[in-house]
Structure 1
Amino acid sequence: MGTVETSAADAATDRRQLMSVAYRLLGSVTEAEDAVQDAYARWYGLPRSRREEIRSPAAWLTTVTSRICLDLLGSARARRERYVGAWLPEPLPDRTEWERADGVDPAGPQDPADQIVLDESVTTAFLVVLESMTPAERVAFVLHDVFRYPFADIADVLGRTPAACKQLAASARRRVSVARTPVRTAQADVVRRVKEAWENKDVAALVGLLDPAAVMTADGGGMVGTVLRPVEGDARIARYMVAIADKAPGLELLQRSVNGVPGLVARRDGVVVTVASFDVVDGSVTRIWVVRNPEKLRSWAVAG
């Protein structure tokens, strides 16, 4: 990609790559879209002569997008300290899955979430672990281990030596090694059984599907009612889930992919109001992440 002018196909591919990088770095579709838009604005703000000197616009845009994300990650911690309750990554729907199930027009309005490639590096479990890293660790790890960028290029993003970037990625890798396991095919069956037990308000069945040390974390952002602290233990989670079902008549539960993994979605009057992700180990649910903040469910309005 050695010229300033690129084809529409190249531009679409570049944007998809940039959105995929930015979402993994930020855990937010909205913030990822803003970062990518900012990077493109800086690109087109360059004098034409400067753009002509850049041999790979895609590499330049990736570097700039990553730097913007690094700056956002630095300020995100302070913002999240003021966040009401737990902060969870923004969940992603599989648009094609909704089209097949609900007959939605595939030529309908596009959403930034559609541009993000779904794989094991975008599961909720993986993104939650990324949140535990320092901004520099996260950038080094995502760019190198997920997108295979060389440490020499990552050094330009972080303003550190390649050796220092390698150490950052290694430190991050130790944190993520447990979470980055292949999704087992049994997860879909376990989630289906959770759905059935939840619909039937069957506490005993839910307890049987949950690991004794399971943890449920909910994100309402202070905008809708939900627990502000994680709920721990199979029995407590089961009772809480049944209590929710009692207080929310008319909810429609659907089994749908969440960040590429089987999850559950709750709709009321056709509107998605809750998205739940699950981590399943050896046939038992170990973690449940529930997003109810409507600002984080905008992509689901397009999908659903």
Structure 2
Amino acid sequence: MSVTGEPDPAAHFTPLRAELIGLAYRMTGSFATAEDITQEVFLRWNATDRAQITTPRAWLLKVAARLSLDHLKSARHRRETYVGPWLPEPILGPEEPPQQAAHERAQDISVAFLLTLQRLSPAERAAFILHDLFETPFAEIASLLGRGEAACRQLATRARVHLGEAHPRQTVTEEDAQRIARAFFAASRDGSEVALQQLLAGDVVLHTDGGGIRNAALNPIHGVDKVTRFFAGLSRKGRLSHVPLLHLGRVNGLPGYITLEADGLPQTTALDVRDGRIVAIYVVRNPEKLGAVQARLSETFAAGQQDAVTNCS
């Protein structure tokens, strides 16, 4: 029995757990943090007088949003002093943390979209995510943010303007996603400048996130020539020649893969593709962001799903 006398506090919570993770992940950019926040929401839900709550989903979403905002305040200094480009924590597979609304961008957790979300103020982010993705009335958002409904509408409107500046994600079939990911892995590993230039758009941008823990470029690298030379240089130094491919599939909904690097740690690569060319490359090397990826790989191996694992060493 819980403190409220109700026998099963999970009855309302469990069906909404994925939504709560989806909200917190979009707010914070960290899947691990989103899971922690969701667990804290459950603890608070278990401890509250649930008989007094008429709309459990609204209460749970509001608590998840408040905890996400609290996390953003505490993480502000760490983000400001982050070494090199900051990228969201990668998640694998086509399945995306869900939400309620059928918004045209609601299913988009591509890295570019998440980065644009992160550039919004916390209040703008909360107003947009809660209203547009989770269909929360502005009256409830106003209560959460301590602002009037009109002000919250303005926050959401400003967020939509900023998000509208981000390029919409193009649908890439599974066949094309695997073909492009395999081709880029082979070309970058071999340092083939001709193959790379055939795959990359002229204005391609490479983002590498090592978090100051593993080697990575300290600034984004712009343009096909510079990106091509970057990978060709790594290949000449022998840093990519023996890198095995552990997993080929979606990374944040984008074509991508996971490799096992020379230091024995994994690395994720996600490729933003438009009109058949790679326009952005997102490489996450920071081991603090790869815990969920390592756990997912361990589950795959444990389940014996070897058809999902390709070793190209």
Alignment partner of 1:250 out of 226, 235, 242: 242
Matched, 1:166 2:153: yes
Distance 1:178 1:191, change over 3 A: farther
Count of residue pairs brought into register by the alignment: 281
Partner of 2:129: 142
Deviation at 1:150, TM superposition (A): 1.8
Partner of 2:196: 206
Determine the C-alpha separation between the residues in 2 that align with 1:137 and 1:23: 15
Determine the C-alpha separation between the residues in 2 that align with 1:272 and 1:13: 35
AA aligned opposite 2:206 = M
Deviation at 1:9, TM superposition (A): 6.0
Partner of 2:103: none
AA aligned opposite 1:231 = I
Partner of 1:22: 24
Q: Residues 188-267 of structure 1: matches in 2 within 5 Å?
A: 188=177, 189-245=179-235, 246-253=238-245, 254-267=247-260
Alignment partner of 2:111 out of 121, 124, 134: 124
Q: TM-score, normalised by structure 2?
A: 0.81
Deviation at 1:44, TM superposition (A): 2.7
Answer yes or no: is the 8 Å Cα contact 1:121–1:180 preserved in 2: no
Partner of 2:306: none
Q: Residues 265-304 of structure 1: matches in 2 within 5 Å?
A: 265-268=258-261, 273-304=266-297
Q: Give the secondary structure class of the aligned counterpart of 2:108.
A: helix
Distance 1:214 1:239, change over 3 A: same
Determine the C-alpha separation between the residues in 2 that align with 1:150 and 1:244: 51
Deviation at 1:255, TM superposition (A): 2.6
Partner of 2:170: 183
Partner of 1:110: none
AA aligned opposite 1:207 = Q
Answer yes or no: is the 8 Å Cα contact 1:16–1:115 preserved in 2: no
1:17-50 deviation line (CA, Å, top 9, x unaligned): 111110011100122122222222222333xxx3
Q: Could you say which structure has the greater relative contact order, defined with CA pairs below 8 angstroms and 6 or more residues apart?
A: 1
What is the RMSD computed on CA atoms of the aligned residues?
2.6
Determine the C-alpha separation between the residues in 2 that align with 1:289 and 1:139: 25
Matched, 1:40 2:45: no
Determine the C-alpha separation between the residues in 2 that align with 1:242 and 1:182: 28
Answer yes or no: is the 8 Å Cα contact 1:22–1:69 preserved in 2: yes
Determine the C-alpha separation between the residues in 2 that align with 1:65 and 1:7: 16
Structure 2 segments unaligned to the other structure (5+ residues): 100-105, 298-313
Deviation at 1:249, TM superposition (A): 3.6
- My pick for the range that moved more, 24-33 or 149-158, is 149-158
AA aligned opposite 2:111 = T
AA aligned opposite 2:143 = D
Answer yes or no: is the 8 Å Cα contact 2:189–2:243 preserved in 1: no
Partner of 2:86: 87
Percent of pairs with identical residues: 38
Answer yes or no: is the 8 Å Cα contact 1:121–1:146 preserved in 2: no
Q: Residues 93-132 of structure 1: matches in 2 within 5 Å?
A: 93-94=92-93, 116-117=97-98, 120-132=107-119
Distance 1:6 1:154, change over 3 A: farther
Distance 1:169 1:62, change over 3 A: same
Distance 1:21 1:214, change over 3 A: same
Deviation at 1:182, TM superposition (A): 4.0
